[in-house]
A and B are shown apart, each in its own frame.
Chain A
Amino acid sequence: MTPLLSRRQFVAGSLTVSFTAAALARSDVALAQAQAVKLPGSLANNARLDSWLKIGADGEVTIFTGKAEIGQGIKTALAQIAADELDVSIERIAIVGADTARTPEEGVTSRSFSVIESGSALRLAAAEARSLLLAKAAAKLSVPVERLGVTDGAIAAGQKKTSYWELIGGKEFKHQLTGTAKPKQPKDYKYVGHSVPRVDLPGKVTGKPSYVQDLRLDGMLHARVLRPPLDRADIAIDAIDATRTSAMPGMRKIVRNGNFVAVVAEREEQAINALAALKKDTRWRVPVLPKPEDLKDYLLKAPAKDRVLREDGDVAAALAKAQHVVDAKFFVPYHAHASIAPSCAVAQLSGDQLTIWTHSQGIFELRRDIAGVIGRPEAQIRLIHMEGAACYGQNGADDAALDAALLALELPGRPVRVQWMREDEFAWEPKGPPMVVSVKAGADADGNIVAWDYEYWTPPHVSRYGKNGSTVAIGGWHLERAATPFFVPGAAGDVFARVVAGDDAFYKFPNKRVVQHGVTQFAPLRSGELRGVAGFQHSFAIETVLDELAAKCGVDPIAFRLRFVADARMRDVIAAVAAKARWRGKPSGSADGRGRGFSHFFYDKPLSRAAAIVDIAVDRASGAIKIERVTAAFDIGRVINPDGARNQMEGGIIQALSRTLKEQVTFDNSGVTSVDWQRYPILDFSEVPEIDVALLDRPEEEPGGAGETQTPIIPGAVANAIFDAVGVRLRVMPFTPERVKHALAG
């Protein structure tokens, strides 16, 4: 039996190091360094206390985070953590979000790591600041530290009093963090673990400027970029005639650099009208694409890095002997991030200093990337994060930032605002990657799984950030001196490798073969990370096959799972969801038009556990699926803000239902054709089910990820509920009424 490679060996043993894997490898290094000096989280790279917090003479506490608020409530969670450790009221806390000139570099805000990285750093920094201040107070008041008490920044020992503001207000700590101060025990938290209201919402419900889209600078010009019909590099202008456009009202400049073309006008509607005219006067040479219906075969044949993630025992022999066999292929199409706001950025060149306001999730990395494209030193470029609409992964944020930068360089002194239109976002955002999964699985007469043969094909899940002349941003691909598109060939969503490769901690089957085919090109559209990474696709396949085997063996689907789920915390999660949904153990497949489906999944790195039960009704005549209720349970370790976590869970469930039932990016040789909300419909108010969420209470456990944990558990549960309701297995998304009808017609 081949031992499972550890993640690190797995990374080192492969020729290509994927970005996700590289990020992990980096954090492994950071962790190793941190262990040497005991500095976890993002502290390892930023040990200056003053880079994390400042105490003002006016009683305000400012905390700095390199993480970006992307609608997940990170600013609130970080304020809770800092307020608790410092013993100050949360109202005193002001938060400075990611800014290359002001905040620590904390890497990309993604993969549910924000609380783990930034939160653990701020927690230790705040605890250490408190202990430094108490030491100062003890010296000043001539009393032992143990006799001092702190209430909202006021320090007292009997009648002797001082305060944080008196001791250090407005001054720097000038202190290198040691990580030696002891943070509080969970039972002593006043804010952490409680549902503190979001700090950003009052401004948002009253219409205060809250997003980069709301930024208005004096003399700001408005730009729109003329893009090719497809989000590829191998595309060129055949003919363009700007005569008509250049005479339009308010035109400031038509910028052309190779195949990068943009219009810049005084007023926004002028830029929009100019772009519409210029579009009509431009012809593109575009490559021939496969038809969307052929995408599955295209992926199977595309050049790929093939990696055997695991090979235990003799799968073929075990399958041949198995009593019950499932042999199935699954397909998930391209999905859009479909942020409700198209991407936007503002940039301004003042002297030799270029400032870019952006909703990018990785401003430090993007600065490096942009510096390479425009040939300017990083020191002359400042990126300031401002919120956009939530992005759920890599939307067009980085692209819009480079667009704005390129245009600001053409119009020195004037701020230039680039706002993508709806069709721009749908056509050019990096799409959530499609995936083909093939599973052959067998069980013996007693219902034990004896063979598991699993293969998957998927294009790159990672396409940020560029280096050495490559760039994440599409504008760079079309310049006269073009930068090459950055993506990690073969990056097949490795965050899930440990789960799908069948680490016994997750799924314990003998005779197991797991093979990954990481497609080494954008195939055929540009792809990038989308919420849940590859977990959405994997869980769909794995949880459907397990359900199918359970049905063939005549066993209740949950009882069947519990035979090989060893992890005690996951067993608790499964028990919790079963109890909450009043699951009555029986084999599925009653086929009476109503159904319940179960699915569970480990969200790995950071590890969290999740399970769902979905209740549906299927109308046999129309094929329409009505989702009636979703019950879900989660173990995400210590919960910083329970209501915030519930909000994320409810929202992520709705989004995953939408992807499962309705969503698919469509395209032809004229371009992406799903470019508005009618052609890329998402779940609406009439389709949203009741949702019941249980968060297991684990105050003593380190926080796991929350933001993406719920995404993978939905598609399998819906597919299994459909089987329970009408006796058919759907293996291709989305589960449209036509597809259901087709399956029922057999």
Chain B
Amino acid sequence: MARQFVLEVNGGRLAVETEADTPLLYVLRNDGGLSGPKFGCGLGQCGACTVILDGAAARSCITAVASVEGAKITTLEGLATAASLHKLQQAFLDEQAAQCGYCTNGMIMTAKALLDRNPHPQEADIKQALMNNLCRCGSHLRVVKAVQRAAG
């Protein structure tokens, strides 16, 4: 049965009426009007839908809305401030680390979770963290450089 869920998204409140098992991705996109998290597979395999849930990268396409009530949800839209881009966003621009850019959300959000727990990762750590984020255009090397640049 559908019921109301209240979520904390990018520091704001998002109320939505839906079924408990509705994937968070559709709620963020269709009810929250957010475009950062992307639908890529709906299977948790590609990473395009990645958001940060209480500090950890999570696949919003396989996360039920009922499981994230009370959690802090951050999407790509929640990274920049009015004054400046997040250092990862700036680094992706500096390295031109995308082609079509559809996977970029997942790359940045997964890298953000990595840098939050390990501010100075080795190249191998970055590749390991991004292992399950797919890119079909082949921007991998630039993505790694961008994360290294953001890590300083």
Chain A contacts to B: CB under 8 angstroms = 70-73, 195, 197-198, 200-202, 204-211, 213-214, 216, 249, 267-269, 272, 338-342, 387-390, 392, 419, 421-422, 643-644, 647-648, 650-655, 658, 676-678, 682-686, 688, 690-691
Contact = CB atoms under 8 A, between A and B. Distances in A.
B101 A200 contact: yes
A216 B26 CA distance: 13
Contacts of A682: 134, 136
Q: Which of A216, A340, A684 counts the most B-chain CB atoms under 10 A from its CB?
A: A340
Nearest to B146: A205
B100 A387 contact: yes
B134 A206 contact: no
Contacts of B79: 206
A629 to B, nearest CB: 12
Interface in B111-145: 126-128, 130-144
A245 to B, nearest CB: 16
A652 B138 contact: yes
A652 B80 CA distance: 31
Contacts of B41: 342, 422, 676-677
Contacts of A201: 92-93, 96, 98, 101
A15 B102 CA distance: 42
5 contacts: A206-B36, A269-B22, A341-B48, A389-B100, A422-B41
Given A198-B96, A341-B39, A205 B85 contact: yes
B141 to A, nearest CB: 6
Contacts of A648: 99
Q: Which of B29, B41, B104 counts the most A-chain CB atoms under 10 A from its CB?
A: B41
Nearest to A390: B100
Interface string B18-33: 1100110010011001
B59 interface: no
A205 B92 contact: yes
Contacts of A643: 96
Q: Which of B22, B23, B136 counts the most A-chain CB atoms under 10 A from its CB?
A: B136
Contacts of B76: 205-207
B26 A267 contact: yes
* Contact-residue bracket for chain B: 35 or more
A269 B99 contact: no
A314 to B, nearest CB: 45
B33 A340 contact: no
A651 B138 contact: yes
Contacts of B103: 340, 389
Contacts of B60: none
B77 interface: yes
Given A205-B85, A691-B141, A422 B93 contact: no
Interface string B86-97: 000100110010
Contacts of A267: 18, 26, 30
Given A207-B34, A341-B38, A684-B134, 8 more contacts: A71-B100, A197-B93, A201-B101, A207-B36, A340-B100, A422-B41, A658-B138, A685-B143
A684 B140 CA distance: 8
B131 A685 contact: yes
A654 B92 contact: no
B98 A207 contact: no
Nearest to A681: B134
A269 B24 CA distance: 10
B38 A213 contact: yes
Contacts of A195: 96
Contacts of B101: 71, 200-201, 204-205, 210
Contacts of B136: 338-340, 389-390, 392, 655, 682
Given A214-B35, A341-B38, A654 B48 contact: no
Contact of A340 (B30, B36, B40, B127): B40
Given A71-B137, A654-B140, A686 B36 contact: no
B151 interface: no
Contact of B135 (A198, A340, A422): A340
A241 B151 CA distance: 56
A514 B142 CA distance: 41
A217 to B, nearest CB: 12
Given A201-B101, A267-B26, A269-B23, A422 B40 contact: yes
A391 B98 CA distance: 14
Nearest to A648: B99
A677 B46 contact: yes
Contacts of B29: 268
B148 interface: no
A71 B33 CA distance: 24
Contact of B138 (A207, A272, A655, A678): A655
Nearest to A69: B100
A651 B139 contact: yes
B81 to A, nearest CB: 11
Shortest beta-carbon contacts, A-B, top 7: A71-B100, A207-B36, A654-B138, A651-B138, A390-B100, A204-B101, A389-B102
Contacts of B85: 205-206
B99 A71 contact: yes
B98 A206 contact: no
B116 to A, nearest CB: 18
B91 to A, nearest CB: 9
Q: Which of A269, A387, A644, A691 counts the most B-chain CB atoms under 10 A from its CB?
A: A269
Given A205-B89, A206-B85, A340 B96 contact: no
B7 interface: no
Q: Which of B22, B76, B102, B104 counts the most A-chain CB atoms under 10 A from its CB?
A: B102
A677 B93 contact: no
Contacts of A211: 35, 38, 102
A164 B101 CA distance: 35
Contacts of A205: 76, 85, 89, 92-93, 98, 101, 104, 108
A413 B79 CA distance: 37
Nearest to A203: B101
A494 B98 CA distance: 31
Given A654-B138, A677-B41, A685 B127 contact: yes
A419 B39 contact: yes
A653 B138 contact: yes
B138 A650 contact: yes
Given A197-B96, A201-B98, A677-B45, A684 B39 contact: no
Q: Which of A205, A216, A272, A648 counts the most B-chain CB atoms under 10 A from its CB?
A: A205
A688 B142 CA distance: 11
B77 to A, nearest CB: 4
B133 A213 contact: no
A390 B18 contact: no
Contacts of A389: 100, 102-103, 136
Q: Which of B2, B41, B137 counts the most A-chain CB atoms under 10 A from its CB?
A: B137
Given A210-B35, A422-B41, A678-B45, A204 B98 contact: yes
B99 A651 contact: yes
Contacts of A422: 40-43, 45
Contacts of B40: 340-342, 422
Given A206-B85, A207-B77, A390-B137, A213 B96 contact: no
A615 to B, nearest CB: 16
A655 to B, nearest CB: 5
Nearest to A249: B2
Contacts of B132: 684
B40 to A, nearest CB: 5
Q: Which of A643, A644, A653, A654 counts the most B-chain CB atoms under 10 A from its CB?
A: A654
B137 A655 contact: yes
Contacts of A678: 45
